[in-house]
Amino acid sequence: MKVVNHRLESESVVHLQTPNCDQRPDGEDISLLVIHNITLPPGEFGGTFVQDFFMNQLDYEAHPFFKEIQSLKVSSHLFIRREGELIQFSGFDQRAWHAGLSSFGHRTNCNDFSIGIELEGTDDHPYTDQQYEVLKQVTLCLQKAYPRITKDRIVGHQDIAPGRKTDPGPSFDWDRYLNGINA
């Protein structure tokens, strides 16, 4: 796996193009990695609802919860499903809409300079071995392509939006994930 033209290249990566992204203010400023979690409906794994949501193709009649998110336009760069399937929704040179109101260090609007990775999961349900393995591989690949993403610039959504977000939550094993990640 490697990054070519701001996209992951590997036979195992599914490439889609979300409309929920735009141009970064400075395409060379990629320096933060944000880990998230998502399930749709909340707490339910599988299906295509997350993919449909990021592509603005979600059937809002399919579940009562979907009415609550109908007005949202969000995405991430990558989505790692429970079994390790990897979907890329936008190029890394694009600003995916994953962080919302956020700050890291002295900077706000983390979408401007970050890459967002969504894990299919919840704050309180353990992530799978396959997800940790794919996440590690992807992280090392991203660090090679974007060397400003150092270990201390890998955060959870809760770190950049405290009080507003809680993901990836206490079920995410940071030590397991960061073991072997480049400093």
Summarize pLDDT for 13-53 with one digit per residue, the tens.
999 999 999 999 987 899 999 999 999 999 999 999 999 99
The single residue of 68, 85, 118, 133 carrying the catalytic annotation is: 118
- Residue 151 pLDDT greater than 90, yes or no: yes
- Token pair for residue 1? 């796996």
Q: Is 133 a catalytic residue?
A: no
Q: CATH assignment of 2-178, given 3.30.2130.10, 3.20.20.150, 1.25.10.10, 3.40.80.10?
A: 3.40.80.10
- Residue 116 pLDDT greater than 80, yes or no: yes
> Are 141 and 88 spatial neighbours (Cβ–Cβ below 8 Å)?
no
Average pLDDT of the chain to the nearest whole number = 96
Q: In this predicted structure, what is the pLDDT of residue 28?
A: 81
* CB-count exposure of residue 7 (10 Å: 0-12, 13-18, 19+): middle
C-alpha torsion 29→35→37→38, nearest 10: 10
Query: Could you tell me the residue ranges of all domains in the chain?
Result: 2-178
